[in-house]
């Protein structure tokens, strides 16, 4: 009997999750688009990442977030939405029928893809060395280039905004996450430039090119998911049990119980 596929969140549930995360920690929790990209990278990663490691990054650092992590307080119910969404992302990628991401739009109806790409990169940063095989594979080396172009563009926009505001210190920070305030460039966890190619000189993304870049990003993620499937199966496979033969104790040897008596006069004589 096969397990039933997880039920994807409905549009109202996605909106509820985004709202609740913003209420739990407006500064440090993930927006739902960022969380969606984060879940995709967790699903792709060849090394399993425990829930207790990644969940704090989703909820943030506030007292409400800490309470939710412990499964108590009024926000504990949001964990069910988080787990359902993560499972549905895994199922979506596993189907191989095309990945349907959560991508938000700005007031003008434009889809930027920044938060999704940053969420993916943040999950990559949890196991940076695990992705190295992509670089050494001729067909996969550029699979995540569209995603990194979007992350780099978000960084450039953040720096430009900070410079316009005269905040030189903020202009030197790397992009971290979008949070729930579009005007807020601050965040908690950075995306490492050296590990993921953010130090490369990526070409700017023209407005008419953006839909193609986002489409290529999602195709690349699907390819990465398939590429690492054997490694994930190996990592999750039960480890073989090694059977060690019991040590044979001679009748005149000291008894293993530590009594100091000969085995034949101790437990060997029972």
Phi, psi of 220 (to 5 degrees): -65, -40
**Which distant-in-sequence residues (6+ apart) come within 8 Å of 201 by Cβ?**
none
d(CA 77, CA 82): 9
127-159 pLDDT, tens per residue? 999 999 999 999 999 999 999 999 999 988 888
269 confidence band (pLDDT: 50, 70, 90):
low
Please choose, from the candidates 107, 39, 110, 28, the residue with its C-alpha nearest in 3D space to the C-alpha of residue 61.
Answer: 28
In the block, residue with structure tokens 């943030």: 60
210-264 pLDDT, tens per residue? 999 999 999 999 999 999 999 999 988 776 656 555 567 777 778 777 677 776 6
Q: What is the model's pLDDT at position 3? A: 58
252-264 pLDDT, tens per residue? 778 777 677 776 6
Q: What is the model's pLDDT at position 151? A: 93
- Eight-state DSSP code of residue 28: T
Q: What is the model's pLDDT at position 233? A: 93
Q: Is the pLDDT of residue 185 over 50?
A: no
Q: Is the pLDDT of residue 171 over 80?
A: no
d(CA 25, CA 185): 15
Q: Report the run of H or E that residue 15 belongs to, with start and end.
A: helix 11-24
**Which distant-in-sequence residues (6+ apart) come within 8 Å of 161 by Cβ?**
185
d(CA 30, CA 59): 7
The whole-number average pLDDT for the span 25-33 is 95
85-99 pLDDT, tens per residue? 999 999 999 998 878
Query: What predicted TM-score, i.e. pTM, was given to this entire model?
Result: 0.79
Start-to-end C-alpha separation, the chain:
50
């Amino acid at each position: 009997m096969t397990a039933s596929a997880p039920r994807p969140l409905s549009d109202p549930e996605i909106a509820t999750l985004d709202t609740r995360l913003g209420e739990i920690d407006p500064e440090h929790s993930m927006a739902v688009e960022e969380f969606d990209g984060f879940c995709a990278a967790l699903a792709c990663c060849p090394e399993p990442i425990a829930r207790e490691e990644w969940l704090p990054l989703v909820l943030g650092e506030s007292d409400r977030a800490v309470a939710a992590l412990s499964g108590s307080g009024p926000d504990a119910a949001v964990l069910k939405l988080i787990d359902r969404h993560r499972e549905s992302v895994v199922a979506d990628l596993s189907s191989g029928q095309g990945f349907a991401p959560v991508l938000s739009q700005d007031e003008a109806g434009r889809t930027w893809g920044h938060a999704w790409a940053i969420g993916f990169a943040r999950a990559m940063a949890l196991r940076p060395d695990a992705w190295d095989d992509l670089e050494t594979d001729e067909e996969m080396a550029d699979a995540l280039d569209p995603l990194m172009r979007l992350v780099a563009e978000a960084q450039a926009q953040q720096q430009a905004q900070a410079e316009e505001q005269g905040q030189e210190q903020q202009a030197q920070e790397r992009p971290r996450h979008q949070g729930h305030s579009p005007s807020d460039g601050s965040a908690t966890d950075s995306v490492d430039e050296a590990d993921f190619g953010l130090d490369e000189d990526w070409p700017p993304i023209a407005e008419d090119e953006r839909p193609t870049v986002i489409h290529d990003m999602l195709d690349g993620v699907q390819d990465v998911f398939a590429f690492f499937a054997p490694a994930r199966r190996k990592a999750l496979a039960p480890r073989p049990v090694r059977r060690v033969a019991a040590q044979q104790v001679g009748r005149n040897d000291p008894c293993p119980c530590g009594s100091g008596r000969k085995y034949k006069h101790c437990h060997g004589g029972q």
